[in-house]
Amino acid sequence: MGSHSYMKVWILCLIALIGATHAQLELGFYSKSCPNAEKIISDYVNEHIHKVPSLAAALLRVHFHDCFVRGCDGSVLVTSTKNNQAEKEAPPNLTLRGFDFIEVLKSVLEAECPGVVSCADIVALTARDSIRAIGGPYWNVPTGRRDGLISNGALTLQFLPAPFHNLTTLIGRFRQVGLDIKDLVVLSGAHTIGIGHCSTIATRLYNFTGNGDADPSLDSTYVQNLKTTKCKSIADQTTLVEMDPGSRNSFDLGYYKQVLKRRGLFQSDSALLDSVATRNIINHELTSTDTFFRDFTLSMEKLGRIGVLTGTQGEIRKICSRIN
C-alpha cells in the first residue's frame, strides 16, 4: 500500500475520532427509547452462555475485532457484497465465531423496538455480559454507539494485531487505536479463554525459520506435547488448541502463568516477555485475580470507546450483516 492511501486511512480515522467528540456515549442510553434492551440482551446471553460457555470467547473477540477496525461500529458484522470485500472476508476473520448469535439477538431487539438499538452496542453488551456469565469481570458499557456505513476487509490487515507480530508491532497496533502497553498486556489476558487453530501455529511448531524447526521462544516440552497430542502435522487445518489448557472457559490468571512458562500459544503471546515493561505488567496482573479483573475492566472500557459513532453519525442497522 502506498503512503498516499495510508494517509487516507489516517485521515478517515481522525475524522472518526473528531466526530466522536460531538456526542458522548452514556450509561443507559436506551432507558427511554427501549427500556428493556439491556435486560433482553443479558437474559439472552445468560440463557445461551450457560449452555455453550465457549461462545463467550467468541463474542469477546468479535468486540475486539470490531473496535480495532474503524472503531466500535459493528462493521465486523457486515457481509461482503459483489462490490465490497467486507472485514469478515479478510484473513484475520477466518476464525471469528458468534455472528449468528448476534444476528438472532438483533432480530429479538428489532421486534421489541424497531430501528433503535445499534449492532455496535449489541456487540459491546454481549461481550460484557458473556464474560460476566462465565464468572469473569464486569465492566461498564456506556451505550449510544451507531453502526458504520463501511466495512473494508483490507483495513483489518492494517489495524488488527496478528499472531506472528513482534512486541514492537503489537505496541504500534494498540497505539494506533489509542491503547497503551498496559492495555496490550491486560487485554491479551483475554487469551485465558478460548481456542486457536493448529493452522495458526503450524509454522511455529514445524517450520519456524524454514529448516523444519520450532520457535525457540516456545517451551520445547510444550512443542513436543502439542505435536504429539494436538497439531500432528503442519497441514492440520481443523484441530483446535486451548490457549489456557484445562480452563478454556474460566476467566482466570491461567494465561499469564502459561506465558511465564513460555507456553503462550502465539508469538504475540510470547512477545509479552520481550521487554521489562511488559514482563512487569504480567507480574503485576499475577498478584491477584482482583488486580487482573480491575485492570481488565479499565482496558475494556477504553476499548469500547475507540472511534465510536454517536449522535446522527452512521445509522442503526436493521440487520447486522447488512448496511441499510
Ligand X SMILES: *[C@@H]1O[C@H](CO)[C@@H](O)[C@H](O)[C@H]1NC(C)=O
Distance CA 116, CA 103 (A): 15
Contacts of 81 (CB under 8 A, 6+ apart): none
Taking a C-beta distance cutoff of 8 angstroms, is the pair 194, 54 a contact?
A: yes
Q: Does 234 bind ligand X (CB under 6 A)?
A: yes
Distance CA 123, CA 67 (A): 10
Is residue 169 packed enough to be buried (19+ CB in 10 Å), middle (13-18) or exposed (0-12)? middle
In angstroms, what is the minimal distance from the CB of 312 to ligand X? 30
Q: At 119, phi and psi to the nearest 5? A: -65, -35
Q: Does 67 bind ligand HEM (CB under 6 A)?
A: no
- Residue 227 contact, options ligand X, ligand HEM, none, Cβ 5-8 Å cut-off depending on partner type: none
Instruction: List the grid coordinates of 68.
Output: 480495532
Considering only residues 130 through 189, tell me which ones interact with ligand X, judged by CB under 6 A. 166, 168-169
Taking a C-beta distance cutoff of 8 angstroms, is the pair 154, 228 a contact?
A: no
Q: Pattern 57-96, binding to ligand X, x per CB under 6 A?
A: -------------------------------xx---xx-x
Instruction: Select the residue interacting with ligand HEM from 167, 195, 214, 323 (CB under 6 A).
Output: 195
- Do β-strands 195-197 and 240-242 pair in parallel, antiparallel, or remain unpaired? antiparallel
In angstroms, what is the minimal distance from the CB of 88 to ligand X? 4
Q: Which stretch binds ligand HEM (CB under 6 A): 35-43, 72-80, 128-136, 160-168?
A: 160-168
Instruction: List the grid coordinates of 124.
Output: 459491546
Phi-psi region of 31 (alpha: psi -120 to 50; beta: other; left: phi over 0): alpha
Q: Does 2 bind ligand X (CB under 6 A)?
A: no
Q: Does 190 bind ligand HEM (CB under 6 A)?
A: yes
Taking a C-beta distance cutoff of 8 angstroms, is the pair 119, 109 a contact?
A: no
Closer by beta carbon to ligand X, 46 or else 80: 80
Catalytic residue set: 65
Q: Does 246 bind ligand X (CB under 6 A)?
A: no
Considering only residues 241 through 280, tell me which ones interact with ligand HEM, judged by CB under 6 A. 266, 268
Q: Pattern 167-186, binding to ligand HEM, x per CB under 6 A?
A: ---x-------------x--
Taking a C-beta distance cutoff of 8 angstroms, is the pair 123, 62 a contact?
A: yes
Residues that bind ligand HEM (CB under 6 A): 57-58, 60-61, 64, 95, 97, 161-163, 165, 170, 184, 187-188, 190-191, 193-197, 200, 266, 268
